[in-house]
Structure 1
Amino acid sequence: MWDRVRVTENVSTWVNLPDVAERFGVPITKVHQWRKEGSLLAVRRDGVLRVPAELVANDTVLKHLPGVLTLLRDAGYNDEEALRWLYTADDTLPGTPAQALGGDLAREVKRRAQALAF
């Protein structure tokens, strides 16, 4: 079994859903809708749904995140497992897949997520 603590250490900052709504200037119901639709990853930490801050660092959700989450769910991953995959260090990427999503390697991360289903 994977170590939740180790993965959590790779997430530098967490943002709760009301703060995500405020950051994007949308109602909280819209953030919950994004989560239900699979466009946003949120997991419970200390009883509160939270999002890794770097996934919502801009004025929108990272461009490739919804596609990667769809691919991971298609491969059978739940939100906790998707979080683990996104935040497990990978020597062939600069850090973790989540960090690579914000840069030039986003398509490579998507390709790797797609390969998990096979």
Structure 2
Amino acid sequence: MSDAVPQSDSPDAQHALDALVGAWMNLPDVAEALGIDVKRVRGLVADRRIIGVRRGERGVFQVPAAFLVDGEDGTEVLPSLRGTLMVLGDVGMSDAEVLRWLFEPEESIGTAPVEALRSGRTHEVRRVAQALA
């Protein structure tokens, strides 16, 4: 992982993560985008189908907007995200570390892993993620 992003939960680390991720959504906004209730979104978080972090002075839990994509039936969670989150969890990364890894440019992929996932390059991203172990 790059030294460009602080590795702690310090304000500097949060600011660096914010700069990488860009747009964030709170759970009610995710629920509205997906057309489901907030309880179901909390279930998605509990099942690790989507992750986020607490942000800001009030510590509101938010997820990156990039995790939502247009699907055949409307907005959906990026389908390749869950398996990728499982791989990264298996290598021992915290959710904040996973987010940094997903949004930092990865030299071996040629882009940020989340962008590669959004463009359908799931196997390539997971192969690189597994090599982190």
Same structural fold, with TM-score higher than 0.5 when normalized by the shorter chain? yes
Greater shift in the superposed pair: 99-108 or 46-55:
99-108
Match of 1:114 in 2: 130
| Whole-Å separation in 2 of the counterparts to 1:17 and 1:32 | 8
Q: Distance in 2 between matches of 1:23 and 1:112?
A: 30
Runs of 4+ aligned structure 1 residues displaced above 4 Å come to none
Gaps of 5+ in 1: none
Show the 5 A alignment for 1:12-91.
12-46=22-56, 47-58=59-70, 59-91=75-107
Provide the secondary structure at the position in 2 that maps to 1:95.
coil
Which has the larger share of strand?
2
Tell which deviates more after alignment, 56-65 or 3-12: 3-12
Root-mean-square deviation (Å):
1.6
Kindly indicate whether the alpha-carbon contact (under 8 Å) linking 1:10 and 1:87 is maintained by their aligned counterparts in 2.
yes
Q: Is the 8 A contact 1:7 1:88 kept in 2?
A: no
- Structure 1 residues 83, 31: CA separation in 2 closer, same or farther (over 3 Å shift)? same
Q: Bigger radius of gyration, 1 or 2?
A: 2
1:71 and 1:101 mapped to 2: Cα distance? 14
Distance 1:41 1:114 in 2: 19
Paired residue total: 117
What CA distance in whole angstroms lies between the structure 1 residues aligned with 2:110 and 2:32? 30
TM-score by length of 1: 0.89
Q: Normalization by structure 2: what TM-score? A: 0.80
Give per-residue Cα distances to partners, 1:12-31, cap 9 Å, x unaligned. Answer: 21111110011111111111
Amino acid corresponding to residue 9 of structure 1 in structure 2 = A
Deviation track 1:36-61 (CA, whole Å, cap 9, x = no partner) reads 11110111111111111111132111
State the shift of 1:94 in Å: 4.0
**Greater relative contact order (CA < 8 Å, ≥ 6 in sequence):** 1
